[in-house]
Amino acid sequence: MSKEKYQIPRKSDFICLTILLHDLKCFDEELSEGIKNIGTLARKMRNTRNVFVSLHNLKDSMNRIRVDGEAQFVSNTRSLRRDLDFIAHIRNKGVGHLDRVLLERAAQWIPELFHVSSHKNDDYLTFFSYKAVLESTINSYLNEDGEQKVFNTEIDFLYPPNAEQFFSFLSDIVKRSITWLENAREIIKSEIDLHSDVQIKEMGAIAGQTNFNLKEESCFAFSEEEMKKRIATAIKKMREMGTEEKIIQFLENKALE
């Protein structure tokens, strides 16, 4: 038997979208929290940086996973995919990797990070470090004329109009991503045949053959007769080991019925 019989590829898509959906819902809540002090501001910078990992994973998933929806869903998919190109740049330069050249520009961009007063408080160092890397990553996404592609201006989080412009963009793309994931997951769920109690033994047998060596294929062969023989052998060994008879009888009734 093949993995397609058990819809393993489609089930893997469902798992992927479920994790991404939960990640982005959590980030949406965390990024909406108020700023009370420099510590919470540093956490907002950390969450801002980390959300790009999930958004980049979403971009990869959208390119890999086939989801057949209605016209509006297809239109939303194209629009979201275009906006996620910017996310890929941020993830590649300042999140998934810490690009050496970008780090040098970050050090140049935020001289206050190395002012003597900044080194009296570790929360300030953390905030300015996040700020330096995030702003440098955002500002290095340039068009052919050397202008920032998305905002048409350099972003400085301490300048309120810039902060409003960037975080409104980020909030919008996170919320649109959540909506897309909710819709895509429902479409995929509708294609999966959920199993009932009748198939529990078969699914258990398939689960038992999971090969965690990712360089090899996994096995999906199933024979009810062979399964019963293996269970009977296991029960026999349990009886020889002195397992209580009531437990043996329970297993025989459940597994060999």
CB 87 within 8 A of CB 122: no
* 109 vs 115: CA distance, rounded Å: 13
Closest residue by Cα to residue 89 from 128, 143, 131, 130: 143
CB 63 within 8 A of CB 178: no
- Number of H helices and number of E strands within the chain? 9, 0
Q: Which pLDDT band, with edges at 50, 70 and 90, does 254 fall under?
A: low
pLDDT at residue 1 above 60?
A: no
Average pLDDT rounded to a whole number, residues 35-60: 90
Give tens-digit pLDDT for 195-225: 888 787 778 878 878 889 888 888 887 767 7
Place of tokens 């397992």: 243
Tokens describing residue 43:
């956490």
pLDDT at residue 227 above 90?
A: no
Higher pLDDT, 210 or 111: 111
Determine phi and psi for 155, rounding to 5 degrees: -100, 130
Mapped onto helix, strand or coil, the DSSP state of residue 106 is: helix
Closest residue by Cα to residue 192 from 5, 4, 11: 11
Average pLDDT rounded to a whole number, residues 57-68: 94
* 200 vs 249: CA distance, rounded Å: 19
Taking 3-state DSSP, the helix, strand and coil percentages for the chain, each rounded to the nearest 5, stand at 70, 0, 25
Give tens-digit pLDDT for 133-146: 999 999 999 999 99
Helices (H), 110-243: 122-139, 160-191, 200-208, 224-240
| The predicted structure's pLDDT at residue 231 | 74
Average pLDDT rounded to a whole number, residues 42-48: 89
Give tens-digit pLDDT for 14-38: 999 999 999 999 999 988 888 888 8
Average pLDDT rounded to a whole number, residues 76-96: 89
Residues in the chain: 257
pTM: 0.83
* 18 vs 34: CA distance, rounded Å: 27
Name residues whose C-beta falls within 8 Å of residue 249's C-beta, 6 or more positions apart in sequence: none
